[in-house]
Structure formats: C-alpha cells, structure tokens
C-alpha cells in the first residue's frame, strides 16, 4: 500500500520504488525487483534524483539543496479526483525527462504534469532513471567471473518502469492497455530507442518523441573506447583527490583493477569523471554524445534507425517533431553539437565530396555562428527525426510537427524557437521564473496559447491515437507537417532542400 497526498486539487503519489536500490553489488547491474516494505509507504515526497554534475535549475519547488543518491529508481503518479464509484480506467501518459542522459529528474516542472492531469482525462507518470556513467556507459568489457557489468542500464530502468506501470497503474486509475510514452531531448531518444527494443513490445500503445536525437545510439566498438577513456579519467580524479585531501585510501583505490575501481569509487568521483569525459567527446568524436544507448546485441540488437527503416520497430502510432532552431542554445557548458568550424570540417571530411557543395548551399555562411548552430542542430535532431518519420510512416501512423513560437527576448538574443523552448508552455508552466524572463519583453500570450494547443493534441492522441482531425498524417509522398506558430499551419515537406542535402551528405540515413 502507498499513501499519497492531495495537492492543487489533484492526487499525487511520489517517490515510490519501482526497482531495488542500484547500490553496492547492484551498481552497474540490471534493475532488480523492488524490495518489499511493511505497512503503508508514505508517498508524499519525491525520492532523490540520480547523481549528476550540477544542481539542476528546473527543479520545482525551489530548493537550495536537491538530494541526489544512487538509490534513485522511484516513480511518481498524478491523477485527477473522480466521483465515487467511477471505476473507468484513464489513459496513461508516461514522461521520460531529458537532460542529455546526464542531468534532470522527475522533480522538474515537466515531470509533474499538472496541466495534463487537470484536464481530468489522464493519469500522469514520471520517474528517475540512472544517468551519466552509472546509466549510460558500457563497461561490459570489464566483466569477469567475480563481477559482471551490464549494458544499457538507463534503458533497462525505463523498461522496468514501464513494466511497473503494466503491473500497478490500474490501482491509481490508469489503463495499462492505453499507455503513451513521451519524452523530450534525451527523453525523446529514449522513446525512439524503446520503439526499437524488442522487450518493450506491449509496454506502450503510442509514442511521442519531442526533439529526439534518434541516431545517438552507438556500437560497442565505439562505446568500449569511451569506457576505457572514462576509467583512465576516473583514476586521475581519484588520484587528484588523494593529492588534494591527503587521502591515503584514494591512493590505493586509484591502483585497483578497473572492476574494483568502478565498483568501489565514491559516487562523487564517478560524477566528476563523467563531466571530464563528456567535455572531451564533442571534439574527439564530432557529432557524438558519449552518454547514450549502445547496440549490445542483446537488449538492443540493432541501431534504432535501421529498425525503423526495415519495419522492425514497434508499429505504434507516433508523433515526432523538433523546434525551429534546435542548435542555437548549445553554447558554453552544453556545447555538444557539431557547430564549431573544426567539428563541421570533421563531418565534411567523412561526407561524399559530391555532397558538400549542396550542404554549403543549404546553410549559407557555414561555418559561421548562426549557420553552424543550425547545421549542428539539424544534424543532431531535425534531420534524423525526418528519417524516423519517413521510415515509420511506411508501417504505422505518424504525425510530424515543428515548433516555431519564440518569445520576443529569444528572438532578440538570436535563439528563436530553440531546443527545449516548448517545454514550459506545453506543461503550462509559463509562470516559472525562467519562462517569465523569456516572455518579459512580449510574446507571452502567443507562447502560452501554442502550448495549450499542443497539450490538447497530446491529450487527444493519448485517448484515441489521433491528435486532431485537422492535423494530417505524415506520409513520405507529402511529408505534411504541423507548424506550431502564432497561427498553426500545415506545410508540405518543409525545408525540402536541406533534407535533400542531408540525404546526400549522410547516405547511410537516406535509406
């Protein structure tokens, strides 16, 4: 039994374990069954967030200290209050938070979902999963008879959560046969990856991928190198702590074999090493994200983009889309896209010579700041999303969108409708401090209205699998796309010339 709370006119249950704490012998192990508790579990407070490198700024309510812990595998449920005797099961929305698989949590404003639940039409689920090296590096090469390491831990956590929903959500008023999984950014990647994961079959009926990087999934040949780089960095981190703190135990730890080092290192050292690795990857491997799923031949047998192309992805209805200028926000600490001249040159060196002029024509001024940002954002998010839409539409219903609404301040700053901008308005959170700053110079009304329309589409899709009669299905022949703007419109094959340039530039995705 669990005991929730009544909050803002809604029922809320928080911090419910959906798997055993992944600590001790279970660090780097697949999620294990929940440890039973006695009596009634107090589900009034969020569980700790997954260990991550900095305090996440989108937490609500504000807190000076947001606790993090390896024991982070918890789920939250929000449901509308219903009339006594109403036993009708409601559709379920399961939200997977973003954050580059290295940050974020179910405590974020987007993980709480009041705007959706206040409709009275759905039950909303959010959850934490393992991040960074603890969830998204492949250490299987270091497995031994004494200690095994499991791949795709964050993905396995997501599967465990979806199984928990199947087994338990009816007790909260949700229909396990009508589950829509949706996420943004890394959460969108999780959605497209789950659609290509055979063991996810039957765990959800529909999917929504917002600004996903669908091709951020890599072979073991690549991820094993990243794992080795990480172990080397971790030794340096532990050694530096010994030098700084005079910690003799740290000196001994740095000399341990990789298996022991990974299992015995303090979590703060693991996170510190993650930061260093993540900062090095965009230059060493332009266009790559080091914390991402791996094609391990077991849980994930092939690249998701190939599964979509060949019809092996789960044939569920899909909404997929991106924002107008995905790449404009990726600067400073989140400068992970191939948007600098050096990174762009590296991609051009890998592309067919015959494709390069068409690509430069598609992005006038490349590798300048604006053109480089659009090139990098399209490489990571928009173009591969168009390929997922093309491929999946051959086998299942697809709806495509582009979010173009940008408050005036973001236009002045040259960010426009950048990555993640739709989240505040979609989740009816335009009063959040950052959203208020964004709309301080105007545009709040159009921004809020766009989010309200999107939320209506998502709710309708969760209920019956069709977002709106006025939103045509996506087909390769027409590529009809909803442009969410001050006034919505439908465009056929938007940015056609860019798409054609990318088809020649990355022939492996032209499919």
What residues are annotated to the active site?
185, 326, 419
CA nearest neighbour of 124 among 184, 84, 182: 182
Nearest alpha-carbon partner for 124 in 468, 430, 462, 432: 462
CA dist., res. 305 & res. 27, Å (int): 30
> Cα 305 vs. chain centroid, distance in angstroms?
16
- Distance (Å, whole) CA 441 – CA 419: 20
Pair of tokens at residue 269: 């050292």
Query: Is the backbone peptide bond immediately before 212 cis, with ω within 30 degrees of 0?
Result: no
Please state, in angstroms and rounded to a whole number, the distance separating the CA atoms of residues 448 and 452: 6
The neighbouring-strand residues paired with 490 are 482
SS3 track for 255-274? CCCHHHHHHHCCHHHHHHHH
* Nearest Cα to Cα of residue 180 among 242, 271, 92, 274: 92
Sign of the four-CA dihedral 54, 60, 63, 66: negative
Sign of the alpha-carbon dihedral angle for 406, 411, 413, 414: positive
- Residues 6 or more apart in contact with residue 117 via CB below 8 angstroms: 10, 78, 79, 80, 123, 124
Q: Which two tokens stand for residue 158?
A: 């997501």
**Strand, helix or coil for residue 275:** helix
Q: What are phi and psi of 227, to 5 degrees?
A: -65, -40
Rounded CA-CA distance 412/45 in Å is 40
């Amino acid at each position: 039994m669990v005991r929730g709370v009544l909050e803002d006119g809604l029922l809320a249950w928080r911090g419910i374990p959906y798997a055993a704490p992944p600590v001790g012998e279970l660090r780097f192990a697949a999620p294990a069954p929940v440890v039973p508790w006695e009596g009634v579990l107090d589900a009034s407070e969020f569980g700790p967030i997954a260990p991550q490198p900095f305090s996440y700024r989108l937490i609500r309510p504000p807190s000076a200290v947001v606790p993090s812990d390896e024991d982070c595998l918890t789920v939250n449920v929000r449901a509308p209050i219903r009339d006594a005797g109403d036993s009708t099961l409601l559709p379920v929305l399961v939200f997977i938070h973003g954050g580059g698989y290295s940050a974020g949590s179910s405590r974020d404003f987007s993980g709480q979902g009041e705007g959706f639940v206040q409709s009275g039409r759905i039950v909303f689920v959010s959850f934490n999963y393992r991040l960074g090296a603890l969830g998204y590096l492949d250490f299987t090469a270091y497995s031994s008879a004494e200690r095994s390491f499991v791949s795709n831990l964050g993905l396995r956590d997501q599967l465990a959560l979806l199984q928990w929903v199947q087994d338990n959500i009816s007790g909260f008023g949700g229909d396990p046969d009508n589950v829509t999984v949706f996420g943004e950014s890394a959460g969108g990647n999780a959605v497209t990856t789950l659609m290509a994961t055979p063991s996810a079959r039957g765990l959800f009926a529909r999917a929504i991928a917002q600004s996903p990087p669908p091709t951020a999934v890599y072979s073991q040949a690549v991820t094993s190198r990243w794992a080795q780089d990480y172990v080397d960095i971790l030794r340096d981190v532990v050694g530096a702590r010994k030098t700084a703190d005079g910690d003799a135990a740290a000196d001994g730890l740095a000399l341990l074999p990789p298996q022991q080092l990974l299992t015995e290192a303090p979590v703060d050292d693991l996170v510190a090493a993650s930061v260093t690795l993540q900062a090095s990857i965009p230059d060493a491997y332009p266009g790559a994200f080091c914390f991402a799923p791996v094609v391990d031949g077991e849980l994930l047998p092939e690249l998701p983009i190939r599964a979509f192309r060949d019809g092996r992805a789960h044939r569920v209805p899909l909404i997929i889309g991106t924002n107008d200028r995905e790449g404009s926000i990726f600067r400073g600490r989140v400068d992970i896209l191939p948007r600098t001249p050096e990174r762009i040159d590296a991609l051009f060196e890998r592309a067919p010579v015959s494709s390069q002029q068409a690509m430069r024509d598609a992005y006038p001024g490349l590798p300048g700041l604006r053109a480089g940002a659009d090139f990098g954002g399209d490489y990571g998010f928009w173009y591969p999303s168009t390929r997922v839409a093309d491929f999946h539409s051959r086998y299942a219903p697809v709806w495509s969108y582009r979010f173009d609404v940008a408050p005036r301040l973001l236009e002045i700053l040259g960010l426009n409708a950048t990555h993640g901008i739709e989240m505040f308005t979609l989740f009816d959170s335009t009063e959040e401090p950052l959203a208020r700053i964004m709309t301080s110079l105007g545009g709040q009304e159009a921004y809020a209205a766009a989010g309200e329309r999107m939320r209506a589409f998502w709710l309708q899709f969760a209920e019956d699998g069709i977002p709106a009669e006025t939103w045509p299905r996506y087909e390769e022949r027409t590529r009809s796309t909803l442009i969410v703007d001050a006034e919505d419109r439908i465009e056929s094959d938007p940015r056609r010339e860019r798409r054609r340039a990318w088809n020649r530039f990355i022939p492996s995705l032209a499919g």
